[in-house]
């Protein structure tokens, strides 16, 4: 994957909603052609993402990776993953 947008959520299932749709909407504006869209990768807790997935699920090229950011990742992991 190249030229993508990565959003790292530092939250858990009991965290309040973050308004992911407000992040995604400008990146999926109708002024972009399909060929200009960048993949969006959301990294974070699945329990939290489940609360907001319904607001962004119909947008194209959005992916998620389940990671408990606060609990499992350390600085070396971010560097190793290329973030």
- Number of domains comprising the chain: 1
- The C-alpha atoms of residue 15 and residue 37 are separated, in whole angstroms, by 29
Is residue 29 in some structural domain? yes
Res 38: pLDDT: 95
| Domain range for 16 | 5-71
Sequential pLDDT tens for the chain (83 residues): 678 999 988 888 898 999 999 999 999 999 999 999 999 999 888 888 999 999 999 999 999 888 754 555 555 555 555 55
Within a domain: residue 63? yes
pLDDT at position 30: 93
User: pTM for this one?
Assistant: 0.78
């Amino acid at each position: 994957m190249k030229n993508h947008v990565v959003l790292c959520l530092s939250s858990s299932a009991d965290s309040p909603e973050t308004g992911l749709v407000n992040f995604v909407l400008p990146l999926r504006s109708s002024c972009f052609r399909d060929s200009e869209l960048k993949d969006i990768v959301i990294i974070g807790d699945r329990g939290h993402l489940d609360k907001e997935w319904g607001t962004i699920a119909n947008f194209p090229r959005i992916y998620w990776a389940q990671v408990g950011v606060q609990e499992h990742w350390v600085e070396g992991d971010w560097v190793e993953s290329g973030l």
